[in-house]
Amino acid sequence: MTIDIPAPDHESRTAILNAKAQQIGLELKSEIITHLATNVPGNIRELEGVLNSVLCQSQLKKRELSLTEVRDLIKNSSKPKKLISTKEVIKIVSDFYNIEEASIYEKTRRKDIIRPRQVVMYLLREDFSISFPSIGQKIGGRDHTTVIHSCEKIKNELKIDSSLNQEINQLRALLN
Give the domain-ending residue among 37, 59, 77. 77
Residue 25's domain spans which residues? 10-77
Q: Looking at the predicted structure, is the pLDDT value of residue 121 above 70?
A: yes
DSSP assignment of 37-100 equals HHH--S-HHHHHHHHHHHHHHHHHHTSPPPHHHHHHHHHHH----S---HHHHHHHHHHHHT--
- CATH, residue 22: 1.10.8.60
> With bands split at pLDDT 50, 70 and 90, how would you rate the model's confidence at 48?
confident
Same domain, 139 and 114: yes
User: In terms of pTM, does the model score above 0.85?
Assistant: no
Mean pLDDT, range 147-174, rounded to an integer: 90
In the chain, the number of structural domains is: 2
Give the domain-ending residue among 77, 102, 122. 77
Same domain, 61 and 132: no
User: Residue 2 domain-assigned?
Assistant: no
- CATH, residue 122: 1.10.1750.10
Q: Looking at the predicted structure, is the pLDDT value of residue 78 above 80?
A: no
CB-based contacts of 73, cutoff 8 Å, min separation 6 = 50, 53, 54, 57, 65
Give the domain-ending residue among 77, 106, 136. 77
